[in-house]
Homo-oligomer: A and B are copies of this chain.
């Protein structure tokens, strides 16, 4: 029987242990499972890179958010996913997301296009088993809450380009409008204009930035 090798990257060790023991205990028809873990971004990255020259993982579990939100240099599972897709394209990738960072699903679906996406509150032995079976035979597997987020963003026919996304992102982390100039190659009036447009698109015309961000998150754009 084939052994499936999984690397789980999550900074909560207990959570990873949960995955590990559940998965290694399940009786799959066609394979058994071995789970390796990494509890930091750096360690995960190293293990992924090392696997290129040794033997590759079959599946990667990536926590969406690997470090506290307000860190200066956000290190995300998304980055690891992008890296992995590049250097080990045959390895299947599954994201594990807290509900609170579920709004990143849109960006992740585009940048990584993972085989699976699970919201942590929906993870149990049953969904883990179903997920493994699905991604090994006919991906993708998305949990219900992930699907709800996907549905929300698919249903909208609003077009937001990279600059808009950057502006929304920097606003969402509290960057002042005038300071966004440094991160986006637009002039200040250019950014102000786009903010006006975005407020109009999201129907928060006479409201503040907070309302804009909230609506953008609701619709799955950040």
Contact = CB atoms under 8 A, between A and B. Distances in A.
Contacts of A148: 138-140
Provide the main secondary structure of the chain A interface: helix
Nearest to A115: B151
A160 to B, nearest CB: 10
A144 B134 contact: yes
Contacts of A181: none
A122 to B, nearest CB: 10
How many identical chains are in the complex?
2
Contacts of A182: none
Contact of A151 (B109, B151, B159): B109
A151 B151 CA distance: 11
Contact of A113 (B113, B147, B151): B151
A154 interface: yes
Nearest to A153: B154
A: contact size bracket: 20 to 34
A142 interface: yes
A147 B140 contact: yes
Interface in A143-196: 144, 147-148, 150-151, 153-157, 159, 161
B113 A157 contact: no
B140 A151 contact: yes
A110 interface: yes
A110 B155 CA distance: 4
Contacts of A151: 109, 113, 139-140
Contacts of A159: 159, 161
B150 A154 contact: yes
5 contacts: A109-B154, A110-B155, A139-B148, A139-B151, A140-B148
Closest 8 CB pairs of A and B: A113-B155, A109-B154, A140-B151, A110-B157, A138-B144, A140-B147, A109-B155, A159-B159
